[in-house]
Structure 1
């Protein structure tokens, strides 16, 4: 085998035996290696590009690629937001002294025989409920459209968890303590604090989702709640007879929520999140039907006329939870 059959050595590769072809093409400056046109030993190395607009070789125009770069969607140093918080989890609790019953239906033999008292109670509950929903809708709108508030909410999760603590305490007080629940003005004070806390939590969760998803979830929630309310006032089906079934359903939703939160805190699993959201939306739609029929009064079980605050509280929580679960389903598909 002749010498020419061997591959070129290192010295030959660095100093090619053939002269470069003719032409006026500029030699590209190599960054660091003499064999590729870089500086020879003893010469200072060529500087590397230091920015996105620095030319890579002499003669290249500034600003490549052309045009300004898009601005960051979040303030400098703020970082990107984490996953949105889960909806508030709390077991359903309806004390025995809130509900009355009879062999036929709870309204018979009581003040429910008077249609005026019955209608006045329903009007009072829905007036309180409308005020709560207006406050929640306004807060959600501010958290969705006002960008500084939206960024503040996303970057300060401690306020969200503080509102969760206020929500939990006021809910337990209103559900378990008969005195504050029926005594004016403490019942309205506690209900106002509860509404503001849950509204803040709802707005902070909605701030993580697209505006179209929030509007769509809000519209679907309104349609579902109106349809369920009209159905409960017209149907002869008595959901209040299934108290045991609704109790079991509440336990299932509560336990499933705790398991889902624990699992998702370690690793996000999309199908588990969507499964929990679907179960929650269906369960609270059924809870809304059950609480609405407790309000009507001409069923097996009904809520006492003095418990207008508790009745508004339950229906309000059902509607907000339906909105939050639908928002998770709709927002994840965007």
Structure 2
């Protein structure tokens, strides 16, 4: 009987699975039984895994593919290392309540004083609004640079120590200008202190604005401008006298100061979105009322009026109100646009 009459052997029946090998390459070994001289299981160049539990990538720790990939350590530390911290809470700025005001038992505080001269009163108003316009131009320019120039934006976000240093400068100059009548009325110290105060508050405003989208910053600026113009026109035209409610504004200022401190402490431990938005909404409303109060003190045709020598104090008060309105609106708009 010839060999072809016998059933095919194991090697003959299974060897055809691999087909003819060209190029004088050796026949591949059977699965799971490497021949002598082939790479051993676990070697990086081994063509087959050693078993069902063998790593798919023997050369990598844990058998995982080369990183980086989610959940694994990144080269150079944590994925968020080096990134800027979350935006700081806006500065807690107590509203300014003037202690030296003209008052009268009559309807107008200007009666019997040098406010009787319309030229003096108009010159005082122009002087205050000229100083206020200069402050707002400086602040707008700094906010624009911190928002649009990326290197500056990155710097202020990564160096929050400068923010807190500017906060300390703001507190010192604010207390000096509000509490000390001598430096506030003596030229040129009053102008120098007011300039330093403006730079410090402008830096804080620009630093906070750098954390928000450009769209939110522009929208907050636009709404703030509309609110301030509307309040100013209303104060010039209305018969409502906000200066008679001096006690109410004193209480409101204390309430906002205490509320701001408590909110900042609570949010530093656990961020509560609704609490943040509630505080921002109340702050925007409160400082809009303060803007109306300080504007009527400046106009001088109400029961109480600010002294004509207090042009620095008047500009400081209105400027602080406008900045606070902008910051509170920015918090609300910035949270809604995320």
Could you tell me the TM-score, scaled by structure 2's length? 0.79
Report deviation, 1:47. Answer: 2.9
1:298-313 matches, within 5 Å, as 298-313=301-316
**Equivalent-residue separation in structure 2 for 1:85 and 1:52 (angstroms):** 31
Which residue number in structure 1 is paired with residue 236 of structure 2?
233
Q: Please state how far the C-alpha of 1:209 moved relative to its aligned partner.
A: 0.3
The reply to whether residue 102 of structure 1 matches residue 104 of structure 2 is yes
Measured in 2, the distance between the counterparts of 1:207 and 1:269 equals: 22
Identify unmatched segments of 5+ residues in structure 1: 1-18, 54-75
The 5 Å alignment of 1:211-226 reads: 211-226=214-229
Task: Report the TM-score, using the length of structure 1 for normalisation.
Answer: 0.80
Match of 1:285 in 2: 288
**Partner SS for 1:302:** strand
The RMSD of aligned alpha carbons is 2.7
1:84 Cα shift? Answer: 1.3
- The answer as to whether partners of 1:78 and 1:155 remain within 8 angstroms in 2 is no
Per-residue Cα deviation, 1:9-67 (whole angstroms, up to 9, x for no partner): xxxxxxxxxx9xx799xx9xxx97xxxx62269x99733421469xxxxxxxxxxxxxx
| Equivalent residue runs for 1:21-170 within 5 Å | 38-39=49-50, 46-48=58-60, 49-51=65-67, 79-97=82-100, 99-104=101-106, 105-170=108-173
Shift of 1:79: 2.5
Q: Secondary structure at 2:144's aligned position in 1?
A: helix
Match of 2:245 among 220, 242, 248: 242
Distance 1:241-1:79 versus aligned 2 partners, 3 A rule: same
Q: Which secondary structure does the structure 1 equivalent of 2:305 belong to?
A: strand
Structure 2, unmatched stretches of 5+, are 1-13, 20-30, 32-40, 43-47, 70-78
Give, in whole Å, the separation in 1 of the partners of 2:98 and 2:298: 15
Q: How far apart are the structure 1 equivalents of 2:168 and 2:183?
A: 19
Structure 1 match to 2:5: none
Q: Deviations over 1:79-109 (max 9, x none)?
A: 3322212222133343422x11001121000
Contact 2:244 2:304 (8 Å CA) reproduced: yes
Equivalent residue runs for 1:9-28 within 5 Å: none
Q: Secondary structure at the match of 1:94?
A: coil
Number of residue-to-residue matches in the alignment = 284
- Asked if the contact 1:249–1:283 (Cα under 8 Å) also holds between the matched residues in 2, the reply is yes
